[in-house]
Structures are given as C-alpha cells and as structure tokens.
Amino acid sequence: MASDEGERGAEGATARPKFDRSVTRLLADLADQISSLFRQEVALFKAELMEKLGLIGQGIGAIAIGALIAFSGWLALVAAAALGLAIVVAPWLAALIVGLAVLGLGAGLLYFGKRRLDAETLAMRRTLSSLRRDQASVRERAL
C-alpha cells in the first residue's frame, strides 16, 4: 500500500477509486485471486475424489461378492445337473431351485456393482461445474 500513498500526492487522505489502481497492483491482485482459486479447486477436487474412491470401493466389493455368489450358484446348478442325471427325483429339483436363487442374488449384486462403477456416476460434476464457472468469470474479467 506504500505505493498507493506515494501516488496520492498532495491529497494524501483521499482514497483513489478502484479503477485507478496501478497495473502492477492489478497484476498482483490477479495473481492472488488465481492462487486462491487454484487452492479452492484443488480442495474441491480432493474432496470429490475421496467420495468417488468410496463409490469405487463399494462397487468393487459388490462385484467381488456377486461373482462369488454367482460362482456358488453355478456350482449348485452343476450339482443339480449331476443329481438330475443320476437320480430323476426331487433332490435335483431342490438343488436347481437353490442354484437359480443364488444365481439371481449374484446377478443382482453384479448389476449393483457395475452401476457403482459407471462412468456417469464417477464423473466429478461439482469440480467440472466450478471450473466452467471460473473459466467464464476469467473470460468476463479479461474482456
């Protein structure tokens, strides 16, 4: 601010209008604002990244459990086919029903996990929106 006081001259006590600031001061203000904006964007990016990593963890966990359950269902279906061929009675039908139920549960978990890993779900909307607003603001001020 010492440069502002030197520029005031004889008027001393009167503040200069904002549009009369020197180019150096304007560039310094711009640098401060850009630095602050960058720090805020990085903080937003970190927060949103942590949120998305949580979703990825849930999705991978659901896929792993769904795959395990689907594999168990496949084994039950194989056992049902073996029992069905060996003895054409009710035990194979019971194994077939259990196998289909386990496969249905596994398929449901696989679908849930796949949806958690969908690109649309993982898109960093808030960060992208904020960056677009910042870009428009910088363009407005530059023009």
| Interval 79-108 mean pLDDT | 76
Cα–Cα distance for residue pair 143/134, rounded to 1 Å: 14
Q: What is the pLDDT of residue 1?
A: 46
Q: What confidence tier does 68 reach under pLDDT thresholds 50, 70, 90?
A: very high
Q: Which domain holds residue 48?
A: 2-142
| Interval 88-103 mean pLDDT | 75
Q: What confidence tier does 34 reach under pLDDT thresholds 50, 70, 90?
A: confident
Q: What is the pLDDT of residue 17?
A: 55
Q: What confidence tier does 20 reach under pLDDT thresholds 50, 70, 90?
A: low
Answer whether residue 106 shows pLDDT above 90.
Answer: no
Whole-prediction pTM: 0.40
Indicate the number of domains in the chain. Answer: 1
Q: What is the pLDDT of residue 16?
A: 55
Burial of residue 39 (number of CB atoms within 10 Å: 0-12, 13-18, 19+): exposed
SS3 89: coil
Q: What is the pLDDT of residue 90?
A: 74
